Amino acid sequence: MPDEKYMRAALELAAEAMRAGEVPVGCVVVGPDGEIIGRGRNRREESRSALAHAELEAIHMACESLSDWRLSSCRLYVTLEPCPMCAGAIINARIAELCYGAKDPVTGSAGSVINLFMENYGHSPRIYGAVLESECSALLREFFAGLREKGADSAIHSRAGMEPGGEKG
């Protein structure tokens, strides 16, 4: 079952991403002993890389922490439903449990657009959605409202090209 304290840690990372001008997505990986062993936040603008998603950063750190690519006794908490790339990383790392906050109606790959975890890949984590959903969604709405106020092109800043919750960015 999801533990809100871990999603709150992911929310702190999402807020850090927002302060850095990134789409506010944060992620933590929790090890078998209940300790956070991986942390990540979006850094796409900062690193100028399509691969700089919060989940990939957190998974990489967790693999280093355990000295293993198999994270089969770990749980991943992320503030936004994973995209196809991050869903693939979760599957490949054999993560046992995925807990996400806000749904992503454009690239959400845990059920909003497609559920890649139901495909025959040989591994499927337990999935819990809507963990602190209102807080996760509020942070994303605040970020995109700020972009609109500045007149920025939110499409280049959005992981999905539109705001989670179905509103055009």
Bridge-based pairing of strands 26-30 and 75-80 is: antiparallel
Residues in the chain: 169
- In which residue are the tokens 């920025």 written? 152
Could you tell me where the beta strands, DSSP code E, fall in 15-149?
A: 26-30, 36-41, 75-80, 97-102, 126-128
Bridge-based pairing of strands 97-102 and 36-41 is: unpaired
Which of the following is catalytic: 55, 57, 81, 163?
A: 55
- Which of these, 148, 138, 153, lies nearest to 24 by C-alpha position? 138
- Residue 55 is among the residues annotated as catalytic for this protein: yes
Residues recognised as catalytic: 55
